Structure 1
Amino acid sequence: MLLEVRELSVAYGKAVALENVSLEVRAGEFVAVLGPNGAGKSTLLKAISRAQPSSGTLRFRGESLQPLPAHAVVGKGICHCPEGRRLFPELTVIKNLMLGAWLRSDRAAVEADLDQVHRLFPVLKERGAQVVGTLSGGQQQMVAIGRALMGRPALLLLDEPSVGIAHRLKVEIFDAIKRIQANGTAILMAEQDAQSALRVADRVYVLEHGQVGRSGSSAELGSDDYIRQAYLGVN
């Protein structure tokens, strides 16, 4: 098992954000976490990347993540593409991308990964010298995903990659994410767009009120009456 999460809990003061959440991600698998705003999706990813303190069990390749600081988690092979992108808007596209490889010293492999990012998102090569703050929202999301890939992750955490993006670019980004998985990277994605998530993910967990309410394959949940009514708007 690549990632094991067992009975994970997170509280902000007296407010419980996650309560006894358990899930797993296998090597090369694409897992989506669905749920409404406030369900705890972003908190879950932050806890896994150690940007947010938590209790419970977090194991990656059999090793506990709980004692590790966030930068050490990146070094283990987990890269987090956060909600809102969190780019450096005053820097160029290429500088933002290269910041993702900050911990690496394998320069030839870094250049190969940059080429791969450019193949996934050709517009980023065309606009490498452009300041990121002048890009569209969809193009900035491509930079954020590309920056995470520059860390050469075994597991890529994606938080709401479709938010605030035009439909055409959303389709392009989800297609690129599937290609990332096809290249061998496991993906754990938090997403509100249930239709897109069910189209691309292998398995799905549904978070509601900080707990896992349902889980199963995309096909199983896509035919679940509750999911169809609550998340797909189908009666």
Structure 2
Amino acid sequence: MADSLFTDFAFSFPLSATVITTEDGQRVLDYIRSTENPVATILVGETDKDVMAPYIVSFSSRGPNPITPDILKPDLTAPGVDILAAWSPVAPPSIDFEDTRSVEYNIISGTSMSCPHASGAAAYVKAAHPKWSAAAIKSALMTTAHVLDPKKNDELEFAYGSGHINPLKAVKPGLVFDASEADYVHFLCKQGYNTTTLKLITGDNSSS
């Protein structure tokens, strides 16, 4: 059984299994205790259209930004649930640390799985605009992101930021907000950094 908060992504088990909520687990136990010969069947998996998608998974970090509310956190979202990815053959393929099987690929969920998607999208935009800065590329990805349904995420922008990443639109954003090192220095100064603390960040002779 599992808390309903963690049923929006899957785990790899060493045997056929399913994750259910605590409430459904109680119903199963009630059935077992009230039936002389209880029977359970695990059916072949089917693919259903998730009418709620895309939405923010429970393990995703939420805003607001703890350092300064002037920076959107998260900035945008990318696919990170049940992603087929390379896997170390010396690591257990399931959540059982005694699982001795070895695989080269596995189904993984996590914010680290969305990072390659975002990085690939950034590289895609960079290929179309080789002279764009990292800030310009980030701007393009954020301003063209797919707007998520606020009814599906109680935390709104503190959950999905500017929206779900859309690399195809990011190539032609129409408007790009660029930022230089000087812009970041000015921002830190406005946040209350003095010359001493500013130099700890920049590592140069910047002054506030």
TM-score higher than 0.5 here? no
Query: The TM-score by the shorter chain falls in which range?
Result: under 0.3
Name which one, 1 or 2, has greater alpha-carbon Rg: 2
